[in-house]
Amino acid sequence: MKPIGLYIHIPFCSGKCPYCDFYSVKTNESVYDEYTEQLINKIRSLRGKYRTDTVYFGGGTPSLLGTERLCRLLDAACESFGKAEEVTVEVNPESAPALDFSKLAAHGLNRVSMGLQSSDDRELALLGRRHTAEQAAYAVGLIKKGGISNISLDLMLGIGEQTQSSLEKSIDFCAELEAAHISAYILKIEEGTLYYRRKDTLPLPDEDSVCDLYELAVKRLEERGYRQYEISNFAKPGFESRHNLKYWRCEEYLGLGAAAHSFIGGRRFYCTRSLEDFYRDVTADDGEGGGKDEYIALALRLTEGLVFDRYEKRFGEPVPQSVINSAQQLLPTKLIRITDEGISLTVKGFLCSNAVISSLL
């Protein structure tokens, strides 16, 4: 049985960040208990049906569940789908200190992803985050003390009042905390968020400044030893997220929990944004997945790009000549590069990846 990824969505947060459109609710311990029980039942009901080599608890804020519930979930996943090689839990700086990381590590946890966003407390306040940089540094210390060194930190680009110098400081802050992996996302104003309603009054940098911040981030991260491997993801050698690579390489994954998405057997499906729907096992079909165009679009998010051999192995035919011709036409723009191995986007190309990918397809 080919191993797949397991994603478990924990849809709870202590408050709502004004820019966030992930599904999460503010609730109480009894709901955490009920949700954990339902997840465990679901995992056990699928016992032996899948083998997983990566497990990822995302949210929301999985750390809010606390050590005992997380350990029970880790055990259930391991008993039902086998021991995974990479097991990640997302935490935030304010709830992480309540966790017992050595106990979690004993139950299989070996990677932690923390939403830091910035090391500048003023930027954090503008983002509506409920922690300081010092709290984040303290939490990272506890994670390491618990024996987990594979730590990923999230940064955000394009925050109100962010400057090149404050961004460099945030990157250096992560490097000094010895993060193995850094995700640097450009702030997007998503419909339905508080930021969206206030978008005309937010003091956000203009598009050109955001592009400059992105290029600076790529350069500074490289200088600090983080190799870019995806549009927004950077890692010390060997610390790329194996779980997230499955998404970009169009490999299978099972998503459990409210709002979790799955890709199994060529079909995409998901549980809607509702605890009740998850409890009642309601899923929605999202159509076929893993087709040629989707594969190419996702591969081009990676710095390795669209690898000719890998495509041919998967689809039993070479990359369409039309794609190669379009890529050749784009060469003078310096948004793309073509080698004997494949086609990939440059840093400038990543900044307008949607347009570049559409023109290739």
Residues forming the site for ligand SF4 (CB under 6 A)? 13, 16-17, 20, 22, 24, 59-61, 92, 115
C-beta of 189: minimal distance to ligand SF4 in Å? 14
- What 3-state DSSP class applies to 127? coil
Tokens 């090391």 appear where?
A: 119
C-beta of 13: minimal distance to ligand SF4 in Å? 3
State the DSSP code for 316.
S
Q: Which is nearer to ligand SF4, 61 or 262 (CB)?
A: 61
Q: Which is nearer to ligand SF4, 175 or 259 (CB)?
A: 259
Cα separation, 140 vs 97, in Å, equals 9
Q: Which is nearer to ligand SF4, 184 or 335 (CB)?
A: 184
Percent composition of the chain: helix, strand, coil (DSSP 3-state, to 5): 40, 20, 35
C-beta of 199: minimal distance to ligand SF4 in Å? 17
State the DSSP code for 169.
H
Length of the chain measured in residues = 361
- What 3-state DSSP class applies to 287? strand
Q: Which is nearer to ligand SF4, 135 or 344 (CB)?
A: 135
**Omega before 305 within 30 of 0, i.e. cis:** no
- Asked if residue 112 lies in contact with residue 154, where contact means CB atoms within 8 angstroms, the answer is no
Q: Which is nearer to ligand SF4, 31 or 78 (CB)?
A: 31
C-beta of 136: minimal distance to ligand SF4 in Å? 13
Strand partners, 88: 56, 111
C-beta of 9: minimal distance to ligand SF4 in Å? 10
